[in-house]
Amino acid sequence: MEVILIEFKTSKRLDKWVENHRKQGCVSHATAGEQFVYEFIPSGIVECQTVKCLCCGDKFTDYVD
């Protein structure tokens, strides 16, 4: 059986949004520090990347080609 691994890398815009969101004061106080949910939807044309804050519900989507 062949195992195929898919690697998802977040875009620089997504990383910048997360960094700025934390700087604005929205910081998780959960035990393990979980705060964001990432969603990757690949297609033949672009990859839709979305990050959502579990604390306030704010989210950001970027389209990577």
Number of Cα atoms under 13 Å in the Cβ half of residue 10: 16
Render pLDDT for 11-62 as a digit per residue (tens, 0 to 9).
999 999 999 999 998 888 888 878 999 999 988 899 999 999 999 999 999 9
Domain count, the chain: 1
17 within a domain of the structure (yes/no): yes
19 within a domain of the structure (yes/no): yes
Q: What is the rounded CA–CA span in Å between residue 58 and residue 62?
A: 14
Give pLDDT, residue 5: 83
Q: Give the gyration radius of the chain's Cα atoms.
A: 14
38 within a domain of the structure (yes/no): yes
56 within a domain of the structure (yes/no): yes
Q: What is the rounded CA–CA span in Å between residue 5 and residue 15?
A: 23
3 within a domain of the structure (yes/no): no
1 within a domain of the structure (yes/no): no
